[in-house]
Amino acid sequence: MKKQYIYILIGVITSALIGLVVIQLYWIDNAVTLKEEDFKRDVRSVLFSVSNKLEEFDRFYQIEITKKNQQIFNEQMSMMTDSTAVFQENGITYKVNEKRLASGEVYQQSIQSVAPNGQFGFQVSVKGQGNNVFEGLKNRRRPIIERINKNVLDSILKLELLNRGIKAKYQYGVFDYDGNELIIDSVANINKIRQSGFYTQLFSNEVVETPHFLTIYFPHKTGYLLRTMWMMLSTSVLLLIIIVWAFTFTIQTIFKQKKLSEIKNDFISNMTHELKTPISTISLACEALSDKDMSSNEDVRANYVGMISQENKRLGLLVESVLKSATWDKGDLKLKKEEFDLHQIINGVSDNILIQVESKLGEINKNLLAKNSLIFADQVHITNLIYN
């Protein structure tokens, strides 16, 4: 595969991966937003329910007080005494009527007068515990601090939050219309509680009352919401990591295969050249042996026969190298390292290639001056290196 095609493929995969990551992050953000909206809706529902229950408790208290006052009033009325007195002053007759409770308190007093001209006058005054209307208004106008019990408020809040599955840590407070605290759960965070977006008006049905507000604040709201979504968030993050890793591994594999393909091509090219060398040497040696003059000389004949044997061994080593190249894809190519004399290898190679050099009217000059010619390496590859 050409490099430009590889880069185009990488560009396409990268664009798709970036798009996938952006879409995934978008859906995660939407999920968090929806979760936060559900949380806000549940909290507002909790505050509304708490306000209604506090109003019910206060109404129940007023009913109980009214019943108690009515009972006392009835008891007093059952023992009420009625007295009437008549007297004259300045020629006017006055008739005074009084009704007294058992306690001696005047419940009702009336005075009737008759003037000489026949005109009537009448006056009535009412007081005592018997007026249920006034007593009810008195109960309704109790201070807010007396109408709300902090322990009851805390219990109702906790119960309502648990009923809606909200287990986040919270702090609350009751404030008047001017923002003054009446009941506070945490003095340290009073400003945050006062400025919280979660609030509701208490006793909102009483239009004559000054508005009071119940406010609730969640100091760790973001962390709580993320913890409730940990399964979805961790799964999404894990999938993104797997996708990025798979993409990176794929790109690395493509480049590795590309590099391996280039190495193989270079190897085949070099091996073809290396195979030609011993074949040419053997061919020239065979031609020389076919010459009767050269073959009659035992020394020359033995030299050429040895040369053919050496080149034949070299062909075997080259074939073995070709077979070893098949293991490159598996990544288990190993060098056969051993200690040998480099001068000896150089001399053997120069002797074997001398016939080709002389056939082209050339010569080989060696300058072997190494004090220590022993090396530790793969002899086959070093020999091929000298041949090249």
pLDDT in tens, 69-113: 777 767 666 666 666 776 666 666 667 666 666 666 666 666 666
Q: Enumerate the β-bridge partners of residue 340.
A: 375
pLDDT score recorded for residue 333:
56
Give the position of tokens 């030299």.
303
pLDDT score recorded for residue 343:
92
Q: What angle do CA 214, 215, 221 make, to 5 degrees?
A: 150
SS (H, E, C) 278-331: HHHHHHHHHHHHHCHHHHCCHHHHHHHHHHHHHHHHHHHHHHHHHHHHCCCCCC
pLDDT score recorded for residue 185:
82
pTM score = 0.48
Query: Among the listed ranges 14-23, 192-201, 231-240, 329-338, which one has the minimum average pLDDT value?
Result: 329-338
Residue 160's SS3 state is helix
**Domain spans of the chain, in order of start:** 3-73+143-222, 80-133, 257-387
The overall average pLDDT reported for the chain is: 77
pLDDT at 61 over 70: yes
Regarding predicted confidence, which is higher, 224 or 335?
A: 224
Residue 98 corresponds to which amino acid? E
pLDDT in tens, 337-384: 889 999 999 988 888 788 778 778 888 888 888 889 999 998 878 887
Top mean-pLDDT range of 1-15, 269-283, 292-306, 358-372? 358-372
Identify the burial level of 99 via C-beta atoms within 10 angstroms of its C-beta, where 0-12 means exposed, 13-18 middle and 19 or more buried.
Answer: middle
pLDDT in tens, 136-185: 444 445 777 778 888 888 888 889 888 888 888 888 888 888 888 888 88
pLDDT score recorded for residue 80:
64
In this structure, what token pair is assigned to residue 346? 């150089």
- Considering the chain, what percentage of its residues have pLDDT values greater than 70? 77
Tell me which DSSP letter residue 211 carries.
P
- Please name which of 55, 208, 75, 82 lies closest in space to residue 137, comparing C-alpha atoms: 208
Contact residues for 161 (Cβ-Cβ < 8 A; gap 6+): 43, 46, 167, 168, 170
pLDDT score recorded for residue 129:
44
What's the sign of the alpha-carbon dihedral 148, 149, 154, 157? negative
Distance CA 264, CA 145 (A): 90
Strands 92-100 and 81-89: antiparallel
- Stretch 20-49: mean pLDDT: 86
pLDDT at 126 over 50: no
Regarding predicted confidence, which is higher, 340 or 32?
A: 340
- Please name which of 379, 353, 388 lies closest in space to residue 266, comparing C-alpha atoms: 388
pLDDT in tens, 306-326: 888 888 877 877 777 776 666
pLDDT score recorded for residue 81:
67
**Per-residue burial over 258-295, b = 16 or more CB atoms within 10 Å of its CB, e = otherwise:** eeeeeeeeeeeeebeebeebbeebbebbeebbeeeeee
- DSSP for 224-290 reads HHHHHTHHHHHHHHHHHHHHHHHHHHHHHHHHHHHHHHHHHHHHHHHHHHHHHHHHHHHHHHHHHHH
Q: Where are the alpha helices (DSSP H) in the chain?
A: 3-78, 132-140, 144-147, 150-163, 190-194, 221-228, 230-290, 292-295, 298-325, 342-359, 379-387
Distance CA 67, CA 200 (A): 31
- Considering the chain, what percentage of its residues have pLDDT values greater than 90? 3
Distance CA 164, CA 156 (A): 13
Distance CA 22, CA 20 (A): 5
